[in-house]
Amino acid sequence: MTSVMTSGTSVSNASKMNRSSGEIQPDYSYLVGKTGLTIPLVGFYDTPDPSPFEPFRNADTCLFAYYRKIISGTPVRLTREQFGCGGAGKWLCGLETRSLEDFVRFLTDDEGLKANRSLMREWLEFREPYQMEHENLLFGLLRESEYRYLKTVTFFVTPDQLSILMIGAQLHSAPSDPEPVIAPFGSGCGQLITLFRDLNTPQAIIGATDMAMRKHLPPDILAFTVTRPMFELLCGIGSNSYLEKSFIRGLKKARKQ
């Protein structure tokens, strides 16, 4: 397991240290055990070869409609030719699935997601879609052999588990570092990767807050999605940390875990 860093190590310095770990997927078993996670971790991959993920499903609807299949071991593949829904086509594959004005009208007038069209237009023009590096995007359980193609890791969590992971994400953060945890407006699939400004920065997104996709998840489950550098930081937290202290013991006792 990656060695623990001192609490005085900032996120930016910790990120540089973790990059030296190369292409080896870190051991996340201690983190999962202490957090009490029961849902497997899910990775977002951008890969030239989908064969290591077989058998997989090609997306033909909302990515989260496959939630139960994904956590049971069947990944979902998105390509520029088969991307599931229009939102995923735009935010994950960089396709123009409808005109800007159609998007503005739908999201503002039909769904009421911004106070007015001007704000929605500004948001849509400001946000850049994810730029695919290869031909295949896969969302499925972590595969150690494909770590070099891993972009983000998603923890599906209860509120208690979210609080535990949030402390971990902020453990090495200095005031001058980028915000370690954000909760941006956007689609559920966009929160998996697109809304990170820099995938090389240790950062986490509180996701699954898009009402359109929440119907596919259990009501008490949110997503906590992290960049690969943040994943490595979390996996490096050791037994001298908050994971073995009184606050977490008190929380678990209160829940009778």
pLDDT digits (tens, 9 = 90+) for 135-173: 999 999 999 999 999 999 999 999 999 999 999 999 999
- The reply to whether 84 falls in a domain is no
172: containing domain:
11-51+143-254
Identify whether the C-beta of residue 141 lies closer than 8 Å to the C-beta of residue 42. yes
- The reply to whether 28 falls in a domain is yes
CB within 8 Å of 154: residues ≥ 6 apart: 41, 42, 43, 44, 192, 207, 223, 224, 225, 226
State how many domains the chain has: 1
- The reply to whether 237 falls in a domain is yes
- The reply to whether 3 falls in a domain is no
pLDDT at 106 over 50: yes
- The reply to whether 58 falls in a domain is no
pLDDT band at 10 (very low <50, low <70, confident <90, very high): very low
pLDDT band at 97 (very low <50, low <70, confident <90, very high): confident
- Looking at residue 257, its pLDDT comes to 60
- The reply to whether 232 falls in a domain is yes
- The reply to whether 188 falls in a domain is yes
